Structure 1
């Protein structure tokens, strides 16, 4: 099972770079960056907290961190036109020498849409638009030119050159909705990602297998990735997103559960790992469990 780190974009670039370089030097497999322009509006959150822009950070890391894969969790389709995004992704793949994973999602965070005047449609329309965007991305990144006439996007003999170094550049789709999103994953994704504890991921992965069967696609063609907040020693805080760990032994056991359930990659957000040397030591502890 691959092991990757997810440094939060709400910290200074030098801190993100420290995490990425340490991961690169100590045997981690990847580094991911989230795509948001501000902190999510919620009680206890700072509405003025700074947030670095995802695409710029990924390109910057790709130029100076030489080994690990780089990826996005995930570019929001509502504010990233897929034709522009295809060119961004191809460029980052050249910057990294073929180490980029293009993570995309339908978009969801309300406050950034409200503040920037960007439409956030109802879920059905958002998913309809996302499906069209995936058609556009597949065409531009994998075919010489693309003509597409949809409800939301229109391309006429469009090119995206140079093509990525990777053939194909992997497209990761983020989302866990069992009524429709996992069907979209089954049809379009090379990699699937969602939040969840081992039991949740095992259940949703089985649902994804069913959707793949309906598409006539080998379920093994879709790599499975997941994340949860991680605590290395100490009590698990109450959070809206899943949290694992506590004692080192408990953390080792939960990581083994993910591996036993067939997860291909576990991604660790760095938000509960501390800062400075404490964070690097926590990363080393987690890394020691990768193959345990």
Structure 2
């Protein structure tokens, strides 16, 4: 099983003056500890989740700016957003951003993408926020554009929502055949169908529980059968939260959680860590958990 670290907060002690230096420390520590990937949210407001201690006015970095910074201070870990809302960037612009991140990082970019959900954020900053049906239509067109252009085809794209007369993209990504595409979400009719048709990875919430997660993967298998896709080609990733220490989880608890996810069929566990700025939780995961789950 592979591990990814998701960085979801930037309000640690000393913020905002030390956001850059602390983010570099976190990224470098995670890479040294053996994390395969580092992820940030693609949000402009912090999430509005008071039950989790999150408030919209807390510090939040633009996801691709943060990833570009992390690309400069790390060497091995893959880098991606969990996940880009399709309503935030025109696909021609997103194509260029992810391609450039891949080139500048030496071939380490992942495209995490989804239909978007944070209506308050969109309205607050003036981003379009069409109805869900349209957002899914735009998501599928964006995926088509990415796949087409990354294959080397720069012929005009004419969709319902997007029209690209000459989608030239130089330099092309270093990752072959293209940066891995991860689609986030558990919707059985649309999201998992898009995963089967276009994506290299899915992402489901670990808190759903292993029984429900197994059902979602069964749905994904059926979609793969329908479109003639090899289910084994798709990386199955779960997203969660780990709080180590007193009153939280022990390393053995995390190992047990990973064992359960692996038994269901997951390849990767991506999670945020409480008090990640302390660095110690990252080091504990690297020392006591990652070696133990390597063969799961």
The verdict on a shared fold, with TM-score over 0.5 as the criterion, is: yes
Match of 1:214 in 2: 226
Q: CA separation of 1:177/1:235 partners in 2, compared to 1, >3 Å: closer, same or farther?
A: farther
For structure 1, the 5+ residue unaligned runs are: 237-245
RMSD across aligned C-alpha pairs, in angstroms? 1.9
Q: Which residue of 2 aligns with 1:276?
A: 278
1: distance between equivalents of 2:190 and 2:282?
39
TM (normalized to structure 2)? 0.89
How far does residue 34 in structure 1 lie from its aligned partner after superposition?
1.0
Q: Secondary structure at the match of 2:243?
A: strand
* Alpha-carbon separation, structure 1, partners of 2:38 and 2:89: 21
2:64 — aligned with what?
55
| SS of aligned partner of 1:210 | helix
Maintained 8 Å contact 1:193/1:224: yes
Instruction: Using the TM superposition, give the Cα deviation of residue 3 of structure 1 relative to its aligned residue in structure 2, in angstroms.
Output: 0.9
> Match of 1:205, SS?
helix
For residue 163 of structure 1, report the CA deviation from its aligned partner. Answer: 0.9
Paired with 1:282 and 1:154, the residues of 2 have a C-alpha distance of 49
Structure 2 residue aligned with 1:29: 36
Unaligned 5+ runs, structure 2: 12-18
Residue in structure 2 matching 1:252, options 248, 252, 255: 255
**Contact 1:9/1:33 (<8 A) preserved:** no
Q: How does 1:10-159 map to 2 (within 5 A)?
A: 10-11=10-11, 12-43=19-50, 45-159=54-168
Structure 2 vs 1, CA of residues 247 and 60 (structure 1 numbering), >3 Å: closer, same or farther? Answer: closer
Structure 1 residues 47 and 23: alpha-carbon distance in aligned structure 2, compared to 1, 3 A threshold: closer
Residue 264 of structure 1 corresponds to 267
**CA deviation map 1:75-110 (0-9, x unaligned):** 111011111111111111111111111111111111
Partner of 1:230: 242
Equivalenced residue count is 282
- How far apart, in 2, do the equivalents of 1:251 and 1:24 lie? 19
Following the alignment from structure 2 to structure 1, what is the Cα–Cα distance between the partners of residues 292 and 272? 16
So what's the TM-score if we normalise by structure 1?
0.90
Q: Is the Cα contact below 8 Å between 1:83 and 1:140 reproduced in 2?
A: no
CA contact (8 A) 2:114 2:184 kept: yes
